[in-house]
Amino acid sequence: MNTLIIVESPYKVPTIKSYLGKGYKVTACKGHVRDLPKSKLGVDIENDFAPDYINIRGKGDLIKELKKEAKNADRIFLATDPDREGEAIAWHLSTVLGNDGKKIKRITFNEVTKTALKEAVAAPRELDMKLVDSQQARRILDRLVGYKISPFLWKKIKSGLSAGRVQSVATRIVVEREQEIRAFVPKEYWTISAKLEAEKDTLVAKYYGDADGKREICNEAEARLIESECKGKDFVVGSVKKALKRRKPMPPFITSTLQQEANRRLGFQSRRTMMVAQELYEGVNLGDAGMRGLITYMRTDSLRISDDARNAAKDFIISRYGEKFYPSTPNVYKSKKNSQDAHEAIRPTDPALTPEAVKGKISSDQYKLYKLVWERFIASQMRYAEFDTVVCDINCGKHVFRAGGYVVRFAGYMTVYDDRTEESDSEDGLSATALPELTEGETLKLLKMLSEQHFTQPPPRYTEGTLTKVLEEKGIGRPSTFLPTITTIISRGYVKRNGKVLVPTEIGEITTRILLDNFHSIIDYNYTADMEEDLELICSGDKDYVEVLKEFYADFAKQLEAANETLSEGRITIAPTETDIICENCGCKMVERVGKFGKFAGCPNYPTCKNTKPLESTGSNETPRVESEHKCPKCGKSMYLRKGMYGSFFACEDYPTCKGTMPYRKDIGVNCPKCGKAIVIKQTKTKKTFYSCEDYPNCDFSTWDIPQDKKCPSCGGLVLKKKNKEQYECYAKCGWSESK
């Protein structure tokens, strides 16, 4: 029997082919094949919000090829991703191919492994129209919000702006944090530490309070008073409390926690994390072991793991570390109330396949992320860690100082994954060192006392990781939408990156204010979270998607009518962004402007002063003048990124007074196939562009062709694109090539 399997991503194709063998033809639809038209609303509001789907522009040849393959197949399995978006893609495919109800079936798998695929193929099912309806409701809601509100923003602020059911809420979160920071008033406080000498060792105790229960030291006068009352007096050990503390392991990763931890530990932005996770899920080439999926599906908010995975982890832990490292009863983690339980948590497909076993066979980023997922999962199944803790109160007159410390009695899961941080230790008042042996009534000698002034700090700005965490906590969006939402608000200019943190732009703040004043319910946290719950109820069959849309639009139409009156007149003028560059002609800070060749810095007194300076656009809306790590080869001063007639280059901060320059080498986001480091763009002396490893010539990879951020579907190697041609071939010369 000839079976056609259609997946979303072409990178899954070689892996699945290698597992299923003869009788199966595997091809990819490359995401959605139908969608709402871009040129119009595409939703018939008067006719139960009927969507007007059309084939996506540019997918005509692909659809024709899929129809040809379907015609030659005895049966068709739609194996798109196992979520409601994937279910909707499968439904659109079945519509395009002409589903007769018998020939086309749906299969899903949580991991790209031979076992999972065999089980999926053995148990095909019908399309789940409840999931499809939920996705349709979300798509129509987003279309209504975007196409109905955006024109108001064009009239009031400027063209090109857009509103979104989730993106506008995410922008509001960043804006309100910035407002908190501006409104924050620092408060002074002091800390006092006493270095004390015991019989055998020294220790540091921190001021804890006085006999009246007062703990806070508000100013220098209070700190000096306490110092004077303690100097020359005995420090006597009042109480020594010893305890055994247990620390439970963290649960395995879900989408949001993976993005947060990869950002914190590896410095990965969310986009980079999800791109690498997708590669690990779809399959990587392990040499003699062939193509293999290393992790389970990476878009999930469930902490559930299968019994097979739990048993495999148990066998590995006992064989590698010993029985004492496995708990008496398996660790089970409870998912949040509104999580979809269709998928497992993110875990390695084979716990026995350690990071060391794949090191050198996969890219550097893939190794780092796989190691993080593997360690977190294995640790989540291990026994808790145990600590011997000591907390000692030391009296000096009416004042009390406290010292605390701990030693690890049993490392448990921390043998694999140490999740302690300085913040978590300081919250417990413990230091990661043991205190000397102390007894109640023992007198300690004061060696030194230190008073320090501090000021309370405003709440920190969000990073991509912490913003994802807040979106998850507030129930805004789903695991599959966190990354696209953050990407959208940055690309649209509502939020910009400043290093690792996210800062709202003036446009972002003005847009948020307009939406709060005129469409409050659309960006209300509870309303948005409630809408996500409604979408889940559609999935479960407890709500009809047309009724959900009707309930939404009844209130939305009133807001549109009111906004039409209040936003019809007047336009908000946005001042240009100020830079840190000083105009040498008139001493003003230059402002960012956009010209024929991109961004540049211009004097704010134009046209009286026509002084300009080039700026390098970083693509992330950061403050334009970018300092490099290089030093000027002529004078030793700092070098900055500049843009010239022939592209970008590094120039001395005194340029053009100092003519020191260096070529700009741009990381293109693709890893070297030989050593795993970044591939960068370089130029010859005659200005011809080529690509090489950043470690060139130590690593000899270089090519005139354009490296692609995808893998060869035949061998998993690097794909190169011919310049000025839609022709692709494998760098490893395995024989694969493709023309478009």
Give a three-class secondary structure readout of 317-366: HHHHHCHHHCCCCCCCCCCCCCCCCCCCCECECCCCCCHHHHCCCCCHHH
Give SS3 for 615.
coil
Q: CA–CA distance from 5 to each of 15, 25, 113, 115, 124 (Å)?
A: 13, 6, 15, 16, 11
Rg, C-alpha atoms of the chain:
30
Residue with tokens 């779809």: 282
Quickly list DSSP for 238-267. Answer: EEEEEEEEEEPPPPPB-HHHHHHHIIIII-
Q: With contact defined as beta carbons under 8 Å apart, do 643 and 615 qualify?
A: yes
Which tokens in the block code for residue 59? 């997918």
Residues constituting the chain? 740
| Pairing of the two strands 678-683 and 54-55 | unpaired
DSSP, res 432: S
CB atoms within 10 A of CB 484: 16
- Rounded to whole angstroms, the Cα distance separating 249 from 227 reads 42
Q: Which of the following is catalytic: 11, 24, 53, 297?
A: 297
Task: Select from 427, 460, 456 the least CA-distant residue to 216.
Answer: 456
Task: Select from 501, 484, 499 the least CA-distant residue to 166.
Answer: 484
Catalytic-residue membership of 297: yes
Q: With contact defined as beta carbons under 8 Å apart, do 380 and 333 qualify?
A: yes
Q: With contact defined as beta carbons under 8 Å apart, do 112 and 280 qualify?
A: no
Task: Select from 481, 8, 678 the least CA-distant residue to 281.
Answer: 8
Q: With contact defined as beta carbons under 8 Å apart, do 635 and 651 qualify?
A: no
Note every long-range contact of 349-355, with CB atoms under 8 Å and residues 24 or more positions apart, other chains counting: 349/111, 349/112, 349/113, 349/116, 349/292, 349/293, 349/294, 349/295, 349/296, 350/113, 350/312, 351/309, 351/312, 351/313, 351/316, 351/377, 351/378, 352/312, 352/315, 352/316, 353/294
**What contacts 695, CB < 8 A, 6 or more positions away?**
672, 675, 677
- Rounded to whole angstroms, the Cα distance separating 199 from 220 reads 32
Q: With contact defined as beta carbons under 8 Å apart, do 487 and 271 qualify?
A: yes
- Rounded to whole angstroms, the Cα distance separating 21 from 540 reads 36
**Beta sheet of 104-106, edge-to-edge order:** 24-28, 3-7, 75-78, 104-106
The number of CA neighbours under 13 Å toward the Cβ of 29 is 30
**What contacts 61, CB < 8 A, 6 or more positions away?**
none
Q: Work out the burial of residue 58: count CB atoms within 10 Å of its CB; fewer than 13 is exposed, 13-18 middle, 19 or more buried.
A: exposed
Residue with tokens 């310049």: 723
Task: Select from 411, 422, 469 the least CA-distant residue to 262.
Answer: 469
Q: With contact defined as beta carbons under 8 Å apart, do 402 and 393 qualify?
A: yes
Q: Would you give the distance in Å from CA 360 to the centre of its chain?
A: 25
CA angle 366, 367, 371 (to 5 degrees): 115
For the annotated catalytic residues, the residue numbers are 297
